[in-house]
Amino acid sequence: MNKKDRSNVASVVAGLFLIGSLYLFLMVFNSSNYMVLLGILVVTFIIRILVQAILPKKKKKTVGRKKRTKPRSSGKASVAQDSPNRLREDKEIIKDTLENLSWREFERLCFLYFKARGYKPKETSEGADGGVDLIIYNPKDKAYEAVQIKHYIHSGNQITVKEIRELNSAKRNHKCALSKFITTTRYTNEALKQADVFNVDCHNIDWVRNNIVKWQEVQKKKIS
């Protein structure tokens, strides 16, 4: 029942009550008490409100609305997206593709790469890295280097000035003279300019494929 119909029904019920009450007041009891008359009017008003409130309301139709379901995708590329915090064993990480690695697994892959290259990497405490994921020893410069890693492959995200500045500040907290940024995406022009100012060594997806992935392919053959 819509609002207009409920209002009409409530008015009819209240009107009948008012007529009946006035008949009793004037004709049967022959009363002239104005307080009783005022009470009848107040009760009539209350009855109208109550009747309108208790009458059933019209339910909204939901015709044509369908439950939205998340599209299902097949293939390995969807696994890392479903479990972004996943961290498997080293052999599984090495055997898998770059696209299927979670961000934690890509960081671990970088650790294994630098370890194999003799950089003596150390992983920082999870959740408290302050912009640094690895600490490596650069034998060429004979200095410790703070490494920030971002696995943004196929996300469309780019590294901005903000991330470069955070790494530059974080390297001091870890008492590192050098800093390196590794990402599976690219950098904005402003970020690269800021990196030059702070002497941050920036590596993008091309460097990752030409170095870490190529090393990974060699390790796959050794494992199999």
Residue with tokens 């690219």: 186
Cα–Cα dist 79/68, whole Å: 21
Provide the terminal-to-terminal Cα distance of the chain, rounded to the nearest Å. Answer: 73
Do 160 and 190 contact (CB within 8 A), yes or no?
Answer: yes
Residue 154 is encoded by which pair of tokens? 């196929």
Specify the DSSP class assigned to residue 120.
Answer: -
Query: Which string of DSSP letters, residue by residue, matches 11-38?
Result: HHHHHHHHHHHHHIIIIIS----HHHHH
DSSP 139: T
Q: Which residue has the tokens 């005022």?
A: 38
Query: What's the pLDDT score for residue 60?
Result: 56
Token pair for 210: 């030409």
Check residue 48 and give its pLDDT: 75
CB atoms within 10 A of CB 207: 15
The tokens describing 133, both together, are: 């994921």
Position 166 scores a pLDDT of: 95
Q: Is 100 exposed, middle or buried (0-12, 13-18, 19+ CB in 10 A)?
A: middle
DSSP-derived pairing of the beta strands 158-159 and 186-187: parallel
Concatenate the DSSP letters of all residues of 64-95 into one string: T-----PPP--SGGGHHHH-TT----HHHHHH
CA angle 178, 182, 166 (to 5 degrees): 60
**pLDDT at residue number 69:** 47
Question: Burial of 177 by CB count in 10 Å (0-12 exposed, 13-18 middle, 19+ buried)?
Answer: middle
Separation between Cα atoms, residue 209 and residue 132, nearest integer Å: 22
Residue 41: predicted pLDDT = 81
Q: List per-residue pLDDT tens for the chain, 224 residues long.
A: 677 777 777 788 767 877 877 777 677 667 677 787 787 788 877 887 877 677 777 665 544 544 444 444 434 444 445 577 899 999 999 999 999 999 999 999 999 999 999 999 999 875 545 689 999 998 888 999 999 999 999 899 999 999 999 999 999 889 999 999 999 999 999 999 999 999 999 999 999 999 999 999 999 999 87
**166 vs 145: CA distance, rounded Å:** 15
